[in-house]
């Protein structure tokens, strides 16, 4: 087994960080090795893919209730770069209200999507007109272009995503190009 797959003797890699454990109704503790070795049937793959496509479709439509149908009730949304987290269905609802309020006309160019038994990882560029500050970016009135990586961990028991971890690089815009 490669060294990077070997779990530490007393620690476990879990789907949830210690902070998430405090709010999670149920958490499956798995080692990295167990997650990497997960097998997936065509039906399971189709289920993850279908949930992801439904999630994206509902998000583009601004249908927060539809998005939440693809998530577990104990889901956690997080943006590690800012340290911000939104916990549970109400937290996810607050995340989407802020996101869609800031970027109501968001358009996506998807560069890569990886789907597996662990969930979905996507890489995309979002372009939108910013209407209010969001995650420390305040370019209200300007068009913002963000390159994002999103991880949607899959809960195989619930057949839903258990959250989303959002990584983005600073927005590409005239604001940054001008050196401000």
Residue 36 placed within a domain: no
Q: How far is CA 160 from CA 71, 73, 124, in A?
A: 5, 9, 21
- Reduced to 3 states (helix: H, G, I; strand: E, B; else coil), residue 159 is coil
> What would the pLDDT profile of 103-145 be if each residue is shown by its tens digit?
999 999 999 999 999 899 999 999 999 999 998 888 899 999 8
DSSP state of 102: H
- Domain hosting residue 137, numbered range: 41-177
In a domain, 163, yes or no: yes
What are 76's two structure tokens? Answer: 């956690």
d(CA 47, CA 150): 19
Domain count, the chain: 1
**Would residue 105 count as lying in a domain?**
yes
Contacts of 177 (CB under 8 A, 6+ apart): none
**CATH number of the domain that residue 50 is part of:** 3.10.450.50
Q: What percent of the chain has pLDDT over 90?
A: 58
Tell me the average pLDDT of the chain: 80
- Please report whether residue 25 resides in a domain: no
Does residue 29 belong to any structural domain of this protein?
no
**Residue 169 within a domain:** yes
27 inside domain:
no
Output the pTM of the full model.
0.75
* Nearest-angstrom CA–CA distance, 171 and 22: 33
């Amino acid at each position: 087994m490669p060294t990077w797959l070997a779990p530490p003797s007393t620690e476990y890699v879990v789907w949830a960080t210690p902070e998430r454990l405090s709010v999670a109704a149920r958490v499956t503790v798995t080692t990295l090795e167990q997650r990497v070795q997960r097998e997936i049937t065509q039906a399971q793959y189709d289920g993850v893919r279908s949930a992801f496509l439904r999630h994206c479709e509902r998000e583009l439509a601004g249908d927060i209730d539809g998005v939440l149908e693809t998530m577990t009730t104990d889901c956690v949304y997080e943006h590690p770069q800012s340290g911000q987290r939104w916990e549970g269905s109400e937290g996810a609802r607050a995340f989407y209200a802020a996101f869609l309020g800031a970027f109501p006309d968001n358009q996506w160019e998807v560069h890569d999507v990886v789907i597996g038994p662990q969930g979905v990882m996507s890489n995309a560029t979002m372009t939108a007109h910013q209407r209010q500050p969001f995650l420390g970016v305040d370019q209200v009135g300007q068009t913002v272009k963000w390159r994002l990586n999103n991880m949607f961990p899959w809960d195989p028991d619930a057949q839903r995503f258990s959250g989303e971890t959002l990584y983005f690089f600073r927005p590409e815009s005239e604001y940054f190009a001008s050196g401000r």
